[in-house]
Amino acid sequence: MKFLFVANTSWSLYNFRLGLMSALKEKGLNIVFCAPYDGYAEELRGRGYEYIPIRIDRKGMNPLKDLKLIFNLYKIYHREKPDLVLHFTIKPNIYGSIAAKLARVKCINTVTGLGYVFIKEGLLSKFVKFLYKVSFKFPEKIFFQNKDDLEIFLKNKIINSENKAILVKGSGINTDYFSPNFCERIKKTKTDFVFLFIGRFLWDKGIGELAEAAKILKEKYPSVRFWLLGSIDKGNPSAIPEKKIKEWQNSALLEFFGEKSDVRPFICRSDCVVLPSYREGIPRSLLEAASMGKAIITTNSSGCKDVVDDGINGFLVPLRDSGALADAMVKMIELTGERRREMGRHGRIKILEGFSEKDVTDIYSKTIREIKPKLKDVAPTEFKRG
């Protein structure tokens, strides 16, 4: 049997879906992935997965390009005749579902977050909702990562009932890889308190509020540091201009380290991981931080609030409120080291009790077995990196 994984980057498949791909491959299935080429395509090919390259303009809204994407996906599905297609990210979800219907192949979709168009209401938002409504008639099942996103789809009648919908807690964390034990050999070199942000450099991620909160904190705690890992998502309407990032960096307000293939050393050397995002599916950076036993601060927004029990493994703050964010950061700094470590331990337990890769893979595997009864023996697993 052949399963086809489709996403807008090979990077996302490697980092978020390799556990599921490995679980299915171990049972003798032919797993093929289809995504634009990047360095992670070679990583996946090196692990024995067949690769079909495709061009996807992630942020563009050119109708001709999108029609071409539907046609190209249709050609691939018609030629490959997969037993099941698994779509991830927005354009594969929408246009891949239409292509799958035309090619008469079964598919399941995963909504990993609603992004910019659901934060900013307008004509574009209405158009995208219309596209979702048309295309989401076709998948066998649709995975959602939080209840808020599911309720939006029901409220807007993008899906007509909850029968198709399945809630899953993110993409799953490999708790052996993201483990507090890793930090035993990674020690902090300085005593400065470090807040760490991991993600794309977008206004919607709350980096503007983070910069404002940093100004407030540095007046009281001049040595506190703010580290940011990630990159500018060029083409995204919410992208922060490079000029602004350089301005923050030159003022020594925020420290930018770019993208890192392994974020664990930075998590180890930080005291708290912070994400002031406006909305997420389930934020990967917070799951990784909690899995490694770090206290976290995030907004009381869709997806983010699912990872934090306020006052237990971190703090929740109102979104778009730099003052409240600064207050929570002060609170975190003034906790004893033991209290922060206790928060970290609670976070680790929370991940182990439902957010692990094994838990998430189990839910996907169960659903796939229902769609394809021949796969009764597919069991959850955790992939090994490196």
Query: Which amino acid is residue 351, in one-letter code?
Result: I
Cβ atoms within 10 Å of 155's Cβ, excluding its own: 8
Q: Which of 27-36, 121-130, 175-184 has the lowest mean pLDDT?
A: 121-130
Tokens linked to 222: 């001049």
Catalogue all structural domains in the chain, each as residue range(s) with its CATH number: 2-172+356-375 (3.40.50.2000), 180-352 (3.40.50.2000)
pLDDT at residue 374 is higher than 80: no
Query: pLDDT tens, 134-191?
Result: 999 999 999 999 898 898 888 888 887 778 999 999 889 999 999 999 999 887 777 8
Closest CA to 136 of 115, 110, 105, 104: 110
- Percent of the chain at pLDDT > 90 equals 68
pLDDT value, residue 163: 81
96 near 87, Cβ under 8 Å?
yes
Residue 384, pLDDT score: 46
Q: What share of the chain is helix, strand, coil (3-state, %, to 5)?
A: 45, 15, 35
- What is the total residue count of the chain? 386
Give the span between the Cα atoms of 51 and 60, in whole angstroms: 24
Question: Mean pLDDT, to the nearest integer, of 283-305?
Answer: 95
- The amino acid at 268: C
State residue 60's pLDDT score.
Answer: 66
Q: pLDDT, tens digit, for every residue of 220-254?
A: 999 999 999 998 877 677 889 999 999 999 998 99
pLDDT tens digits for range 79-111: 999 999 999 988 999 999 999 999 999 999 999
Measured between alpha carbons, how far is residue 318 from residues 118, 295, 297 in Å?
18, 18, 11
Assess whether pLDDT exceeds 80 at residue 197.
Answer: yes
Residue 381 predicted with pLDDT over 50: no
Q: Is the pLDDT of residue 297 over 80?
A: yes
